[in-house]
Structure 1
């Protein structure tokens, strides 16, 4: 992952970004009888103490990435939005939506991958991540925080429907870099290939 900014540069960049993101949040249902999700720590229910190790992830992130793998003709470029929110309980909701681009910063070609899931931090420092993909694959990851702003996980189980492509293992590394961007690398073992990089992206906070 890219090297970070100096402390003063990072603080200045975060303050400038917050001028545009601090008042934004997820669309809300005013008549919901329970606490609504929030992706903005300034708004909504108080953050559960169990989520403090994941606090930097909370928000809505948008940017671009690259997908490569021996079984495709890529690399291909994609845009992505990741939404990480909470409702006051000790878990985070996760949604990622992607769209294929015709090149870096290019036009949208078509919708691409989607996934939804939950981050569940445990008292011993273990992180559980449950993900369901629109392709018919469900994954259970376990991991830990590497630092206060980076997290590493690997699959403990992968389940797929009869119509899904073969996926046998995956790892993910997330980190906050360069003044507050979210960067990640996803490695996959699938379609008879050994574990290797599949997607990577760098996203900027747009909410929170």
Structure 2
């Protein structure tokens, strides 16, 4: 999730800023669906619209938006698979971030095979700079993560509690690392301990901002 080590390239920072500005021009007018007749603030994934961002969410400010891209699943008990994914980080002015992820399997040509993993949850920054993350999966899994900012643009979390229904597959723990890379794109890697396997790499993805 980091660029290769090496000496800085003169002018590369300026180029990155220009690229980020150009990308912002195509996403700045986009947002999650709004409901004009809702009597309370809409969720917004665009910092230019809707409720003001709560001060407690400043550590998560770079995540706010809608992101879309591609990733890969690798695990001893699963055949390697490629997927596309959309991730939403939104807020309504209160001190938590609404999170939603939807993925779909794709073939080598990018053609959609079928819908895949989904998850929803809440990122909850705390006064001691810790981050609580609650996630629910339609496979019968509920997870509670704790973590923190590693830098202003990277976040690391690990499960403290994993609960599952009687019909759910065995999952015992997970770790996640999110970070902004290159010109402000979002990448993440996840490790999982499940199906009798120790904690090890499970999924990774590279996402680009499409709204916000």
Q: After TM superposition, is the score higher than 0.5?
A: yes
Q: Distance in 2 between matches of 1:190 and 1:10?
A: 39
Offset at residue 73 of structure 1 (A): 2.0
Offset at residue 13 of structure 1 (A): 1.4
Among candidates 122, 129, 133, match of residue 129 of structure 1: 133
Which residue of structure 1 lines up, in the alignment, with residue 74 of structure 2? 68
Q: Distance in 2 between matches of 1:53 and 1:36?
A: 21
Q: Distance in 1 between matches of 2:142 and 2:188?
A: 19
Among candidates 88, 104, 107, match of residue 102 of structure 1: 107
Which residue of structure 1 lines up, in the alignment, with residue 179 of structure 2? 175
Structure 2-normalised TM-score?
A: 0.95
Among candidates 58, 61, 74, match of residue 64 of structure 2: 58
Which residue of structure 2 lines up, in the alignment, with residue 81 of structure 1? 86
Q: Distance in 2 between matches of 1:10 and 1:142?
A: 32
Structure 1 segments unaligned to the other structure (5+ residues): none
Offset at residue 124 of structure 1 (A): 0.5
Among candidates 192, 195, 200, match of residue 196 of structure 1: 200
Q: Distance in 2 between matches of 1:121 and 1:149?
A: 15
Question: Is residue 146 of structure 1 aligned with residue 150 of structure 2?
Answer: yes
Matches within 5 A, 1:9-88: 9-74=15-80, 76-88=81-93
Q: Distance in 2 between matches of 1:101 and 1:18?
A: 27
Structure 1-normalised TM-score?
A: 0.97
Offset at residue 152 of structure 1 (A): 0.2
Q: Distance in 2 between matches of 1:78 and 1:50?
A: 33
Offset at residue 10 of structure 1 (A): 2.4
Q: Distance in 1 between matches of 2:76 and 2:18?
A: 41
SS of the aligned residue for 2:143 comes to strand
Offset at residue 126 of structure 1 (A): 0.2
SS of the aligned residue for 1:17 comes to helix
Structure 2 segments unaligned to the other structure (5+ residues): none
Equivalenced residues, count: 206
Q: Distance in 2 between matches of 1:57 and 1:163?
A: 33
Q: Distance in 2 between matches of 1:147 and 1:176?
A: 10
Q: Distance in 1 between matches of 2:91 and 2:14?
A: 29
Q: Distance in 2 between matches of 1:20 and 1:95?
A: 22
CA deviation string 1:73-128 (max 9, x = no partner): 21x1000000100000000000000000112x510000000000000000000000
Two-structure CA RMSD over aligned residues (Å) = 1.1
Q: Distance in 2 between matches of 1:154 and 1:111?
A: 26
- Contact kept, 8 Å, 1:127 with 1:142, in 2: the verdict is yes
Q: Distance in 2 between matches of 1:131 and 1:24?
A: 26
- Contact kept, 8 Å, 1:13 with 1:180, in 2: the verdict is no
Q: Distance in 2 between matches of 1:193 and 1:155?
A: 16
